[in-house]
Amino acid sequence: MGKGMQWSRVAASAAGAALLTVGWPAGCSPDKPPPETVKPELTPNPMPRFLRGTIIYEAQLLGYGQTLVQGYGIVVGLDGTGSNDTPLPVRTYLEREGAKLLPDPEVSGAPRLTMRGVLDDRNTAAVLVQAAVPPGAVKGSRFDVVVSAVPGSSTTSLEGGRLWTANLTTGFLGAVQGVQPVAQARGDLFINPFAGENLAALAEGVEWSLAPEESAHSEAPDDPSTGVVVDRRVGRILNGGVVTTDLPLVLQLRTPNYSRARAIIDAINTRFPQEPSQPRPTAESVPGRSDEQIVLTVPPSRHEQTDAFVETLMYTQIFQGGIELRADQLARWVVENPVDAPAVTWCWVALGELAVGAIGHLYTHPDVIPRLAALNAGARLGDPRVVPHLIDMARDRASGLRIDAIRRLSEMPPSAQSALALRELLDDEQFDVRVAAFNALLKQREPIVRRVTLDPHQEFDVYAVPSQKPMVYATLQKQPRIVVFGSGTGVAERVLVRSLSDRLQLVRHDQSEPLRARYRKKGSFEAIEYEPPTDMVGFVSFLGARPSAYSLDPALGLSYGETVRVLYEMQVQRGLNTVFAPERNTLIDDVVRGIRAATPEERPESRRDPSLREPDSSDPPAESTIRDR
């Protein structure tokens, strides 16, 4: 027996003898050991184990989600449909804050203009401006805004108006002094003629409801016989908002740890290195909280793809190495656990191009979910092997994934194979497929998509593409755009149309006669006669192009909203020989979700009636109601 062991036994015997001699401490018994110090249990990590080693496993992202912004503003240029009875609190705010924005660049002779005089004019209206800013938006990002007449005013219509620059703040208290704006909005209003949208009570504390949206491919979605009434007190401005301050993105470590935070920062800056025009590194520690918070900066090259940037970042491996092995492990995992397919897809994307070799065998997997996960990742990583598989999926009329397949094709480098397939899909029976094919061809800058120049300062874009399914398509969100599908579309043989509250009249008795138009500007009593072209591209150019001394072509210079309304009313009054179809509309839903996210949860005991609850995703979408909280 060694000396060390002998010394241990001697020490133990001595300690035991001492305890027997001195006795146990008061209140203790040799049969009961002393109580141990209770250590707080760590909160279990909610992430699945296959995500261990990724950023999302160690941290959560704060400030990521649609942000509701709103504020008050003034719409000018109305045709006597405004009001001068703005509620006092709103009027006080506009007189104080709105005067700072005068003169507006769009207003001539503004030096003598006062805000009080503007608010007293029946050709102006005080409005509430609201929007849902996309997640991770950076300074300069553009978004759509909803504009509604202030509740309590007698404004009857905002059609044809223009919003002066309005400051937008987060939350519901946009009129409170000292709140710094995060965005601004301005531009010509667009009244959506395709559905009744009762949003006049978007203001806080007012009950309101949404009428059901009409189908995007309905040929006559707003027939008066259906009872759908367009609320002209509500409009929108496509791409009319601009972010003036970067919205912060912060990573919060689930368990504070300085070394782990430094490892995450290094991993992010390795995956997304600082670009020449980028003011700060992509990831930095927050001063004073360097062990638990990391602030993120979206690289300039990712400003248009903030969603993809955030997803890739969150699924990035903290310690790089063994990429091929990791990709292969994920491939086996998604086959056994298809419910995790979305997360596995982004894990592959975060691994980069080296992951392609491990996922190629899944492109033909018999199970659809692992196959789609691999195809999505391969497309985002630029693997040309996914192209034929995506084309087959886009052509399959029985598949519910055709639109997704076309979108993935648009993200691939342009190729003759994908261009040929997308051109073929312009003739598809399904409306959404034709539109998705056009968007993909436009994104890849295929020459088959022809852009029509209206004038050097045109407000909206006009495109023409060949198609065996003629139609006219108009966007309702983001970039204002009218697309003419197919040749032979245009004005009907016989036309008798009144539009823009009778300011525009179109007459044609038969095909042998030219089309005649009589147009009267707002505020004028004199009408001017024109003979516009009857083909659809020429007719849209006639409506939207601005009159110029350098062009002999007739032109009205209508706004995008007015142009869309004319085309819509021509369809209703049988003045077109083709279908006029709008984009599917999600802008209102985005604003509603923003309102709900910004509204504190109501305590159960304060509910006045269980029937007044907010609708959830399981409720029928025909009607939703928000109550005053």
Name which of 185-199, 347-361, 519-533 the model is least confident about: 185-199
Side-chain-facing half-sphere of 80: CA atoms under 13 Å = 4
- Of 85-94, 145-154, 163-172, 294-303, the one with minimum mean pLDDT is 163-172
* C-alpha closest to that of 85 among 115, 121, 114, 113: 121
**Range with the poorest average pLDDT among 198-207, 546-555, 561-570:** 198-207
Give the rounded distance of the alpha carbon of 608 from its chain centre.
34
Pairwise CA distance, residues 420 & 526, whole Å = 51
- Reference 89, options 151, 140, 142; nearest CA is 151
Percent over 90 (pLDDT), the chain: 55
- pLDDT score of 111: 52
The whole-number pLDDT of residue 21 equals: 37
Kindly state the average pLDDT of the residues 450-477: 90
Which pLDDT band, with edges at 50, 70 and 90, does 212 fall under?
very low
State how far the alpha carbon of 248 is from the alpha carbons of 257, 281, 289, in Å.
22, 14, 16
Cβ atoms 318, 263 nearer than 8 A: yes
Model pLDDT, residue 39: 47
Per-residue pLDDT at 62: 87
Distance CA 126, CA 89 (A): 11
- What mean pLDDT is predicted for residues 22-46? 51
pLDDT at residue 211, as a whole number:
29
pLDDT in tens, 279-293: 899 999 999 999 999
The three-state secondary structure class of 349 is helix
Are the CB atoms for 140 and 298 separated by under 8 Å? no
pLDDT of residue 210: 27
* CA 292 – CA 59 distance, rounded (Å): 9
- Predicted pLDDT at 616: 40
- Report the pLDDT value the prediction gives residue 174, as an integer from 0 to 100: 46
For 265-282, the pLDDT digits (tens) are 999 999 999 999 898 999
Judge whether residue 407 has pLDDT over 90. yes
pLDDT the model gives residue 271:
94
pLDDT at 535: 93
pLDDT of 547-557, one tens digit each? Answer: 876 777 889 99
User: Across all residues in the chain, what is the average pLDDT?
Assistant: 80
Supply the pLDDT for residue 231: 81
- State the pLDDT at residue 116: 84
Rounded Cα gap, residues 66 and 592, in angstroms: 11
Q: Which residue has the tokens 């996922």?
A: 359
Whether the per-residue pLDDT at 218 is higher than 60: the answer is no
Question: pLDDT band at residue 589, thresholds of 50, 70 and 90?
Answer: low
The domain ranges of the chain are 466-474+482-582
Q: CA–CA separation, 159 vs 1, rounded Å?
A: 101
Mean pLDDT, rounded, for 352-373: 93
pLDDT per position as a tens digit, 516-535: 999 998 878 899 999 999 99
Residue 539 has pLDDT above 90, yes or no: yes
Mean pLDDT of 37-56: 76
DSSP 52-73: TTBHHHHEEEES-S-EEEEEEE
pLDDT of residue 522: 83
Whether 31 has a pLDDT exceeding 70, the answer reads no
Contact (Cβ atoms closer than 8 angstroms) between residue 161 and residue 77: yes
pLDDT of 208 reads 27
Selection from 316, 298, 179 nearest residue 248 by Cα:
298
Angle at 87 between CA 86 and CA 93, to 5 degrees: 90
pLDDT at position 115: 82
* Range in 73-82, 88-97, 588-597, 606-615 the model is least confident about: 606-615
362/378 Cα distance (integer angstroms)? 10
> Order of strands across the sheet with 516-520?
495-499, 504-508, 516-520, 527-530
Spatial distance between the Cα atoms of 298 and 283, rounded to a whole number of angstroms: 9
> What average pLDDT does range 292-317 have in this prediction?
92
pLDDT band per the 50, 70, 90 thresholds, residue 197? very low
Which of 196-210, 372-386, 590-604: highest mean pLDDT?
372-386
Range 571-582 average pLDDT: 91
Classify the phi-psi angles of 519: left when phi > 0, otherwise alpha if psi is within -120 to 50, otherwise beta.
beta
